[in-house]
Chain A
Amino acid sequence: MSATTRTAASPSVSSGTSALLLLLKMRTFVALILVFAFFAINAPNFLTTANAVIISKHVALNAFLAIGMTFVIITGGIDLSVGSIVGLCGMVAGWLVLYGIDLNAIGIAYSIQFNTVEIALITVLVGMFVGLINGLLITKLNVAPFIATLGTLYVARGAALLASGGRTFPNLSGNPEYGSASFPFIGTGNLLGLPFMIWMLIAVAAIAAYVAGRTPLGRHIYAVGGNERGAALSGVKVNRVKLFVYVFSGFCAALVGLIIASQLQASHPATGETFELNAIAAAVLGGTSMSGGRGRIGGTIVGAFVIGILSDGLIMMGVSSFWQTVIKGLVIIAAVVIDQAQSRLQARVALQQEAAAAHVS
């Protein structure tokens, strides 16, 4: 935001232009306020604490995925596999709660059981592993991100279905004997007045925002998306950066899988279908550029809230789900159109400033 104030203070740019630019920069936020105000007036019970908690729980699931997706898109890539990773990781968590790891297969009549923390850890590692495969396919084997993650989308979904033969793992309430009775807490528990999963989201979002803004890794992520060759020649380890973003995206997806399994105390292999599209939508709505190099975690979170409030609010108003889908699509298109307008205006303002500076000196 500091750049914005400086723009506004520059005398060479008309105040009308900079006000418009500020408005455009804050557009997702403006949209959020508008959507919020609209439903506060028009939807009954919208402004209740209970509803706020429900909405933020819905939003949180998408926000996790969208945070991971934002990093991937900033590098100029795409991760279509996150929805499937959600499904797969849900099944992994369910399996571990119900069966643990059975060593019968390797000839030992013994099975290892895990407590909640261990289950969460293994599940997250599985998600990161799929992300690692995505990253290796893209960096080492030079597969286009779209294709590589499309492939893992199918593989991970297939694996999820194979895990249970297509059936649901029911009754994941855990077993006190193994220390996994606290499994439902991940998705349903409360801590200091907020749902535990919201705390998790706050932590992940804060770390992601910190990485993006205050670490060399974050800067490198932007540089790779802005100009991969230029970044490589500047000494940025491009492949390492790309591996990181896909592994991180897998990590975020695994958290979602874990949370859903815990919330429902059941895991179904089809969980997470089309989640990747919602995540992309939130990132784009939040100002992430699909051509890479631009995007912010804060914007993505706001984008996820706009989408979440929009769909939940429309449901509360009794709008048909068919119309909801249409409206969601229109909002996304409008966001990108405005984004283009902003980039053009911003480039023009910067050029004017530089021209003015060249004139003075």
Chain B
Amino acid sequence: MTEDHPIGLTIRRGVKVYPGTVALKGVDFDLRMGAVNVLVGENGAGKSTLMKVIAGVESLTEGETSRNGQVVHFRSKADAVAQGIGIVFQELNLFPNLTVAENIFIGREPTRAGVDIDREHQRAETARLMKRLEQPIDPDTPLGNLRIGQQQIVEIAKALAQNAEILILDEPTSALSAAEVEVLFRVIADLKAHGVGIVYISHRLEELIRIGDYITVLRDGAITGSRPMQGVDIPWIVRAMIGDSSKEFGRTEPPNFGDEVFRAEEVVLPRPGGGNAVDHVSLSVRSGEIVGLYGLMGAGRTEFLECIMAQHPHSGGRFFVEGKPLTERDVAGRIARGIALIPEDRKRDGLVQIMAIRENLTLSALGRFTRLFHLDLKAEARTAAEFVKRLTIKVASPENPVSSLSGGNQQKVVIGKALMTDPKILLMDEPSRGIDIGAKAEVFRTMRRLAAEGLGILFVTSDLDEVLALSDRIIVMANGRITGTFPSGTDAAEVIAATAPVKESAA
């Protein structure tokens, strides 16, 4: 095995620390040439960090990287490119205003005698790449005119054009049609035959088993399984991904569900390029119930929550709070009706970083402290202090800017802000993103307690472990539709199966 596939790049004891979290905890990784090295793990397990290290985008805090047996230090992406490493990111790094050819050669334009861009060469090379990828894309088309799937092909072509010896593909098929996936797989087989080492990241387990030669599983920044692909099946991968001993956030009291507090009917959100980002989604949440909305990235879960919070004026569908239709068209009106959203991106959507902790906590509920137009600062400070205590937010002073807190404490401030509006239904988008294990457990305990107090909670997560342990009911979304509803205690494999879009099982 090793003779067929020499190791082209190794990482030993790789540690990567971000402020507040450890993304990689002493990872050993071997990348084999002429083979597809599959990397799998849940969101936040450290896959992307590991790939960014290999591609020179991030550097290790500790540990070493060697290429062909020699220790290397990538200070930038250019260093990695010089070593023949190319990466196709999950998020596209393309310029919609430039043509396909210009995109492929961005930053390394071929020139005529070092003066002007050699357009002919650029165009011919692009046409050759498109032929190889079996795509009828004209090199002069502005990139913005292409479908997302075609844009992804262009991104792949860009990496191919650099004659990479190591090619990292981060979820390359997430936007591709079944036919395009087949083409990609043919190209991968061709690259393999030419000795290129490929790292392939995907959440689609069948796809991984089909195309992979070696598999590495990451969980919480550590490698939990690494072996050749022979004999690997889905249960093995799932076990390695989430472990045997599930993290315990289970409920302590018996469930005590009340009446329905929230119902969504036939919610539709059209996608700009055609199709629906949210496709006729209907669901309901009872008081005291925690409903987990699980799915892959781009399944439409965040968009669905945003529809509830009036962020998409062009969405269709009906919402009901405690049986009464929700007709308010703006955020303030919906908050007043008892809906509270804890956004996915804390920094961008959840907090006003330069404002004080107190001011963030009370921002949605200033009406509580206002008589006519006068703000009672004493009452405000009192209530803020009370919430700091109730949610055990660790602060030196509520007057410090919220940006001085750790991620977990910031998240608690966002939760406090939502709770201060006396919600009936709490919408939480990835409530555990970017916070450490200890803070996670606390956030989950808080969710449990709130549910026990009679709140309905609808939370979105990409963490299988979390959804299994925390939910009273699991709803799975894929391609904007609900593809499965499971009671608590369902087997992990069943839930995962529901996340794979239908078109893939057909392929």
A and B physically associate: yes
Q: Which residues of A contact B (CB under 8 A)?
A: 2-3, 6, 10, 12, 214-220, 222-223, 226-227, 229-237, 293-294, 347, 350-351, 353-354, 356-358, 361
Q: Report chain A residues within 8 Å CB of B485.
A: none
Q: For the complex, is B66 an interface residue (Cβ under 8 Å from A)? A: no
Neighbouring B residues of A219 by C-beta, 8 Å: 359, 363, 366, 375
Interface: B395 (CB within 8 A): yes
When the two chains form the complex, which single residue of A2, A3, A216 contacts B373, counting CB atoms closer than 8 Å?
A216
29 chain-A/chain-B pairs, Cβ below 8 angstroms? A214-B374, A215-B370, A215-B373, A217-B373, A220-B366, A223-B363, A227-B352, A227-B353, A230-B348, A230-B350, A230-B351, A231-B363, A233-B311, A233-B331, A233-B343, A233-B349, A233-B350, A234-B364, A234-B417, A235-B331, A235-B334, A236-B363, A237-B330, A347-B404, A350-B400, A350-B404, A353-B397, A354-B396, A354-B405
Query: Chain B CB within 10 Å — which of A10, A218, A230 has the most?
Result: A230
> Which chain A residues lie closer than 8 Å to B394 at the CB level?
354, 357-358, 361
Known A-B contacts A216-B370, A234-B364, A357-B394; A226 and B375 likewise in contact (beta carbons under 8 Å): no
Using a CB–CB distance below 8 Å, which chain B residues touch chain A? 309, 311, 330-332, 334-336, 341, 343, 348-356, 359, 363-364, 366-367, 370, 373-375, 377, 394-397, 399-401, 403-406, 417, 421
Which chain B positions have C-beta within 8 A of A218? Answer: 375
**Complex CA distance for A265 and B506, rounded to whole angstroms:** 85
Main secondary structure of the interface of A (DSSP, over half): helix
* B403 proximity list for chain A (CB < 8 A): 347, 350
Query: A230 and B352: CB pair below 8 A?
Result: yes
Contact, CB under 8 Å: A226 / B400? no
The residue that B352 contacts in the complex, of A214, A215, A231, with Cβ under 8 A, is: A231
Q: Which of B341, B395, B405 contacts A233 (CB 8 A)?
A: B341
Q: Is the CB of A10 within 8 A of B396?
A: yes
Min CB gap B10→A, angstroms: 36
CA distance A234 to B364 in the complex (A): 5
Inter-subunit contact A6/B364 (CB<8 Å): no
Closest Cβ of chain A to B420, distance in Å, is 10
Q: Which of A233, A237, A361 has the most CB of B within 10 A?
A: A233
- The answer on a CB contact under 8 Å between A353 and B396 is yes
Task: Knowing that A223-B359, A226-B355, A361-B394 touch, tell me 8 more A-B residue pairs with CB under 8 angstroms.
Answer: A6-B399, A10-B397, A219-B359, A231-B352, A237-B330, A293-B354, A347-B403, A358-B394
> For chains A and B in complex, what number of residue pairs have CB atoms within 8 angstroms?
108
How far apart are the CA atoms of A356 and B331 in the complex, in Å?
37
Complex partner residue of A216 from B311, B367, B401, B406, CB under 8 angstroms: B367
A220–B359 Cα distance when bound, in Å, is 10
A216, A293, A294, A351, most chain B CB atoms within 10 A: A216
Question: Which single residue of chain A is at the shortest CB-CB distance from B417?
Answer: A234
Q: What is the minimal beta-carbon distance from A292 to any residue of chain B, in angstroms?
A: 9
Q: Are B401 and A347 in contact (CB under 8 A)?
A: yes
Best-buried of B341, B352, B394 by chain A (most CB within 10 Å): B352
**A215 CA / B380 CA spacing, docked (Å):** 12
B residues near A347, Cβ cutoff 8 Å: 401, 403-404
Measured in the bound complex, the distance between the Cα atoms of B401 and A358 in whole Å is 15
Contacts of B404 in A (CB 8 A): 347, 350-351, 353-354
Sort A-B residue pairs by CB-CB distance and give the 8 closest, nearest first.
Answer: A226-B352, A357-B396, A353-B396, A350-B404, A216-B366, A235-B332, A227-B352, A235-B335
Chain B residues near A351: list those with CB within 8 A. 404
* Nearest CB on A from B296, distance (A): 24
Q: Which residues of A contact B353 (CB under 8 A)?
A: 226-227
Residues in A whose Cβ lies below 8 Å from that of B401? 347, 350
Q: A227-B352, A350-B400, A353-B397 are in contact. Are A233 and B374 (CB under 8 A)?
A: no
Q: CB distance B354 to A294 under 8 Å?
A: yes
Q: How far is the CB of A67 from chain B (nearest CB, A)?
A: 18
A357 touches B354 (CB 8 A): no
Contact B405 A215 (CB under 8 A): no
Give chain B residues whose Cβ lies under 8 Å from the Cβ of A10: 396-397
